[in-house]
Amino acid sequence: MFLDSRYLPIGVSGIAIPPSPPAPSPTTRERGNPTARRTRSTPLSHAVGGGLGVRAINNTRTPNEGPKPLEAISGIANEVESPSEKGSGSEGKYQPARLIDLGLIRYEPALELQRKLHARRVAGEIPDTLLLLEHPPVITLGKAFHPEHLRFAREFYAQQGIELHPTDRGGDVTCHNPGQLVGYPIFDVSQHGRDLHKFLRDLEEVLIRALAEFGIEAHRESGYTGAWVGDAKIAAIGIKVTKWVSMHGFALNVSNDLRLFNTIVPCGIADRPVTSMERVLGRAVPMEAVKQSVVRAFEAVFGLRFTPVNAPERFGEG
């Protein structure tokens, strides 16, 4: 396969990936005009959701080994078959929740664990549960995936050791790699307003608040999901809601190698770059500190109090 001279080898089975473009300055946002909107060339239905990663993609850490789209809301795959009878909870009261840190784990066993926890949340056997983790290099294909948004033939990704995974979340194509913080909230949405639009906006609010703790001014973009700094996407969201319980979630670029994104059209958005906390700040960012900020933001936005629990042994029980 032809790769032009701008491509830089980065050490995963000889993979050569285009260098990431320079990060836009946060000052490019119309700071004084929060209602300002930008022109987009990508249709909304193709553009949002997905886009979900502590080091470059040649990181050698061993991952843990374990076991209908809603047209009006891109970024959500929705199969709400029957409303929950549990009620929405009381505002101002903190509900107990569980926090599971899985570390670095392959996509497939993490998805298996999500499904098991989802079933238990639907049955009312466990409270809201948040999974925090990182993935080895993997590209996931959401419900709105367009084949042309893979920039290379599928054989190319296989040769480079990059997994391709079709998935049932909302959104288009995105990638994960070490250094990207991924969060999968297994939440009963009926206890958080029973409103899928609001649930997406609340996830964005979590990311915006967490980034603010590091001095990063992130914002929403009209017509898209996720968190943005200037014109660049720093965090993406793609979820699925079945029986009012969510799966999948967000991916926040902390210190991951962004060149992997150049092998796809991230989230189907061709005219916007991606960025990371490390790139915006120009310094290393401790992943543990980011996790703590995200947890605090989840507690504040969703009215939760997390208790850390160990990962279920062999992912058999939640």
Query: String of b and e for 152-191 (b: at least 16 CB within 10 Å)?
Result: eeeeebeebebbeeebbbbbbbbbbbbbbbbbbbbbbbbb
Tell me the C-alpha distance between 169 and 182, whole Å: 14
267 is catalytic: yes
Tell me the C-alpha distance between 265 and 270, whole Å: 6
Nearest to 233 by CA among 198, 201, 205, 258: 258
**Residue in 47, 254, 267, 304 annotated catalytic:** 267
Tell me the C-alpha distance between 82 and 56, whole Å: 43
Catalytic residues: 267
